[in-house]
Structure 1
């Protein structure tokens, strides 16, 4: 008999949400990017002394059998999509680092170099460099740091999440690539609405591997919503989607 090796990653990318209506909205309207406040604790405070919010849609690359803790943190409702779909749509795993590591130090040296020559560059050159540094920061996360949930900061080992991200390409003349914590708290609804009207992360029913609900009692009502919303899905597609449904209880008890 051959040796069986347990996979540490999945062939599916999972997105979780705390409410059933949020999951229904994703199925009917695709993924809408939202500004997420991210820890900058891996950087020297002289370079960046505040946490910033970036527009994104987040997923985890965790096998179904190991999702229990993740569900407890992010919500009992989820959608699992094929990793091939993620690759086609330019999703990427985030880069985990820590303060003082060689990679972080190298990035900081590049930022200091940019600061030292910035005055010699024209506006377009400054913008290009700034955008490139921002794109790297948008895909970088501390190994361990602060996570904001419901307005509160808690310490978390982010490395356990195996996160993938979709960052929308935005026209920086019209849209904010990042927000401060204060800006997000004051007007998050406005900023999220602006960016979600401009860009959405689309998928088709054939991209879906799993639909995760909290309990079996919700299945019939969930299907009724899909059947009644402007006939987006025909009966054949709804039948296929129904076959993809599993519940949080099944994950906890059977995997």
Structure 2
């Protein structure tokens, strides 16, 4: 999973940079939509949507478990049961993929309630990667999942033309970024294009 924020430069506030840092990459939106990046859905914990989604997942798991019992009754190779099991497996996979595009409206982070809605988050969720979910937003569990995914990762690909901005914190960081760009294995034309995309947070805040 890769996460993005759909926030115009003029709306990048101190709240956002304090949460995610003052360095970033700004992609063109059409690159995101072409690569199946999608806006996510924010849910309130006890909302009708949350309850329905939670209950439907619970019922689906119950049906899958009961089907295992029917296999014992009618035989492991019953064709009708195998067909139903295959369809339920596909439905379960689709449900997991949908869950990857859902996030809590707010969450407890470092002892404080944090509003996630202001992030205007978009996500890319690889379809082939096995999904694992945890009932609580636990940082250590998240780190363990990231480790697993990095062992067999999916990839998003982009080139220089897919970028709008390279965002740095201060004007003094621009020269540092230019130095790093010069050491990249790119053509001189691509390096020049990247340099033109550098912008610093201080200038954004002072101009907007």
TM-score band w.r.t. shorter chain: 0.7 to 0.9
Unaligned ranges ≥5, structure 1: 1-55
CA RMSD for the aligned pairs? Answer: 2.3
Map 1:39-54 to 2 at 5 A.
none
The correspondence for 1:248, drawn from 188, 193, 201, is: 201
Query: In structure 2, how many angstroms separate the alpha carbons of the residues matched to 1:138 and 1:243?
Result: 35
Query: In structure 2, how many angstroms separate the alpha carbons of the residues matched to 1:171 and 1:248?
Result: 35
Which SS does the other structure have where 1:100 is aligned? coil
Equivalent residue, structure 2, for 1:221: 176
TM-score using structure 2 length: 0.79
Equivalent residue, structure 2, for 1:132: 94
Which has the larger strand fraction? 1
TM-score using structure 1 length: 0.65
Do the aligned residues in 1 keep the contact of 2:39 with 2:123 (CA within 8 Å)? yes
Deviation of the 1:208 alpha carbon: 0.8
The correspondence for 1:203, drawn from 158, 181, 206, is: 158
Unaligned ranges ≥5, structure 2: 68-80
Deviation of the 1:245 alpha carbon: 0.8
Please identify the structure whose Cα radius of gyration is greater. 2
The correspondence for 1:156, drawn from 90, 93, 114, is: 114
Equivalent residue, structure 2, for 1:50: none
**Residues 1:178 and 2:132 are matched in the alignment:** yes
What is the number of equivalent residue pairs in this alignment? 187
What per-residue deviation string (whole Å, max 9, x for no partner) do you get for residues 38-93 of structure 1?
xxxxxxxxxxxxxxxxxx11111112111122122101101111110100000010
Deviation of the 1:206 alpha carbon: 1.0
Distance 1:88 1:189, change over 3 A: closer
**Residues 1:61 and 2:6 are matched in the alignment:** yes
Query: In structure 2, how many angstroms separate the alpha carbons of the residues matched to 1:190 and 1:111?
Result: 26
The correspondence for 1:145, drawn from 81, 88, 107, is: 107
Which SS does the other structure have where 1:58 is aligned? strand
Query: In structure 2, how many angstroms separate the alpha carbons of the residues matched to 1:111 and 1:80?
Result: 36
Query: In structure 1, how many angstroms separate the alpha carbons of the residues matched to 2:197 and 2:189?
Result: 13
Map 1:13-32 to 2 at 5 A.
none
